[in-house]
Amino acid sequence: MSTTFIHGGIVVSATGSQPLDVLIDGETIAAVLQPGSTALGSDLAATADTVIDATGKYVIPGGVDGHTHMQMPFGGTEASDTFETGTRAAAFGGTTTIIDFAIQKPGERVQDSLALWHDKASGKCAIDYGFHQIVGSVDAESLKGMSELVSEGVSSFKLFMAYPGVFYSDDGQILRAMQTAGDLGALLMMHAENGIAIDVLVEQAVSRGETAPYYHGVTRPWQMEEEATHRAIMLAQVTGAPLYVVHVSAKQALQQIAEARGKGQNVFGETCPQYLYLSLEENLGAPGFEGAKWVCSTPLRARAEGHQDELWRFIRTGDVTTVATDHCPFCMKDQKDMGIGDFSKIPNGIGGVEHRMDLMFQGVKDGRISLEKWVEVCCTAPARTFGLYPRKGVISPGADADVVIYDPNGHTSIGLGKTHHMNMDYSAYEGFEIDGHVDTVLSRGRVLVDDGAYLGSAGHGRFVKRGLSQNLI
């Protein structure tokens, strides 16, 4: 087994930051030591196989992105990152674990759809990965399948109140799935938008000739998100299922989550960097067809209504528990452009798996969140929420040696053109300048990225079986 000694840095956890040295033995963290400690009896900087000088840098747990869609079939096409390209891009950005979504289509057994996703990912991933299960058709058979999946390490299930005719579940189906999740102690994840009403608004807009990408946002107003979020919370309350509301973008929806949490209900909010930084006016409203780059659901919200500032505040209050990317990339050419002349044909999704750690660190630099909150929402809370803790999300003895050396004085330009590693022909964050830099990324003791050089390999990443959520109130 080879050893790695990281010394001179500040170890940042969800609860505090202090100068500490880290010893890795093989794939796990062997010890976290006071600087200069001789507890292990020798000069580790001289005896370890690999020595990393982290002076002036932060040493943090590898990022855990709890919401990605590699090669997801959607809207007549497929998300442009494969498990191979998407996980390599994630590694470049300091993320060492993703949780992706297996998708059950009507008429398919959930177990079979999970097997299909295992086939897609196995041997391809640069970093460790888990799966949530999308239940596209809630019926007696799929409800039975849920308990089998939990025992195979897939302990969370996503339902959709949006996309009628595709992934949509009605309230009766939601209630049944929540009853089953409640019985199993499994997390029920919800895409909370009133899809039935939204589809009417979309049809009416298109028939009026309002076909530009901007109208994607206009036809999915915040009221449709707030209403669905409230309904999901009430159904979860009746059934006792823990509820995790994905990709929340409306401040009103978060207020619903905050109130439920205030009453002690197990409800968790997830948001994504796009909802913190981008907006309906500036992005979806870009000239011509440019706005298609930012078509995703829930949609980007109006800055004039103050959603972005409120979302940052809800991160500080803890009502946003986790920040994930909802990485679902599509190229402009031959994918997003399917919706020229009709925004409803634009495949929904934004790619960003590579930029989450940097974008959220910028929140630290901008005085929006503390250093510890950054690690909490990007690493520790997702690990706990999705049953991966303490193997992931923390630097402590016995944990997997997933470690990022982050330079707070470095700089990252998300340049014009292709400066990223995601398989996309544009970047949703083009022109962003980040006051920080991912220097070195280790996954289970192996250096994957070192100052811009890729040292990893497809197949290093393993499937991780997850337990039940450890984050219940």
Question: Applying CB under 5 A, which residues contact Zn ion?
Answer: 191, 326, 407, 410, 437, 439
Query: Which residue from 14, 11, 28 is spatially nearest to 391, judged by alpha carbons?
Result: 28
Query: For residues 11 and 399, what is the distance between their CA atoms, to the nearest angstrom?
Result: 14
Residues in contact with ligand URP, shown as a per-residue x/- string from 345 to 384 under the rule CB under 6 A: ---xx-----------------------------------
Cβ-proximal residues to 358 (8 Å cutoff; 6+ apart), any chain: 93, 94, 412, 414, 434, 436, 437, 438
Query: For residues 221 and 241, what is the distance between their CA atoms, to the nearest angstrom?
Result: 27
| 97 versus 348: smaller Cβ distance to ligand URP | 348
Tell me which of 125, 138, 296, 422 binds ligand URP, using CB under 6 A. Answer: 296
| 9 versus 66: smaller Cβ distance to ligand URP | 66
| 348 versus 385: smaller Cβ distance to ligand URP | 348
- What residue 301 binds from ligand URP, Zn ion, none (CB within 5 to 8 A, per partner kind)? none
Nearest distance, CB of residue 386 and ligand URP, angstroms: 16
| 326 versus 400: smaller Cβ distance to ligand URP | 326
Nearest distance, CB of residue 69 and ligand URP, angstroms: 5
| 296 versus 357: smaller Cβ distance to ligand URP | 296
- What residue 348 binds from Zn ion, ligand URP, none (CB within 5 to 8 A, per partner kind)? ligand URP
Residue 391 interacts with ligand URP (CB under 6 A)? no
Nearest distance, CB of residue 254 and ligand URP, angstroms: 17
Query: Which residue from 257, 192, 188 is spatially nearest to 220, judged by alpha carbons?
Result: 192
Residue 142: which H helix or E strand, with range?
helix 140-151
Nearest distance, CB of residue 79 and ligand URP, angstroms: 8
Nearest distance, CB of residue 223 and ligand URP, angstroms: 19
| 14 versus 190: smaller Cβ distance to ligand URP | 190
- What residue 349 binds from Zn ion, ligand URP, none (CB within 5 to 8 A, per partner kind)? ligand URP
For residues 449 and 92, is the Cβ–Cβ distance under 8 A?
A: yes
- Per DSSP, the three-state class of 67 is strand
| 216 versus 391: smaller Cβ distance to Zn ion | 216
Q: What is the DSSP letter of 315?
A: H
Residue 297 interacts with ligand URP (CB under 6 A)? yes
| 52 versus 254: smaller Cβ distance to ligand URP | 254
Nearest distance, CB of residue 52 and Zn ion, angstroms: 13
Q: Provide the β-strand partners of residue 68.
A: 100, 327
Q: Which residue has the tokens 């530009």?
A: 212
Nearest distance, CB of residue 247 and ligand URP, angstroms: 6
Residue 217 CA: distances (Å) to CA of 201, 224, 277: 11, 11, 16
Site for ligand URP in 79-98 (CB under 6 A): none
Query: For residues 161 and 170, what is the distance between their CA atoms, to the nearest angstrom?
Result: 7
Nearest distance, CB of residue 216 and ligand URP, angstroms: 10
For residues 31 and 7, is the Cβ–Cβ distance under 8 A?
A: no
**Region class of 100: left (phi > 0), else alpha (psi between -120 and 50), else beta:** beta
Residues in contact with ligand URP, shown as a per-residue x/- string from 241 to 270 under the rule CB under 6 A: ------x-----------------------
Nearest distance, CB of residue 296 and ligand URP, angstroms: 4
Nearest distance, CB of residue 363 and ligand URP, angstroms: 21
Residue 414: which H helix or E strand, with range?
strand 412-414
- What residue 410 binds from ligand URP, Zn ion, none (CB within 5 to 8 A, per partner kind)? Zn ion
Residues in contact with ligand URP, shown as a per-residue x/- string from 311 to 350 under the rule CB under 6 A: ---------------x-x-------------------xx-
Residue 156 CA: distances (Å) to CA of 190, 362, 445: 10, 30, 28
For residues 355 and 93, is the Cβ–Cβ distance under 8 A?
A: yes
Q: Which pairs with CB-CB distance under 8 Å and at least 24 residues apart come from 370-373? A: 371/12, 371/17, 371/58, 372/12, 372/13, 372/14, 372/15, 372/16, 372/17, 373/14, 373/315, 373/316
| DSSP E strand stretches across 192-314 | 243-245, 267-271
| 291 versus 349: smaller Cβ distance to ligand URP | 349
| 95 versus 440: smaller Cβ distance to ligand URP | 95
Count residues binding ligand URP (CB under 6 A): 9
Nearest distance, CB of residue 143 and ligand URP, angstroms: 22
Residue 191 interacts with ligand URP (CB under 6 A)? yes
| 102 versus 328: smaller Cβ distance to ligand URP | 328
> Is residue 164 reached through a cis peptide bond, with omega within 30 degrees of 0 on the bond before it?
no
First to last CA, the chain: 39
Q: Which residue has the tokens 């920080």?
A: 436
Cβ-proximal residues to 208 (8 Å cutoff; 6+ apart), any chain: none
Interacting residues with ligand URP (CB under 6 A)? 69, 191, 247, 296-297, 326, 328, 348-349
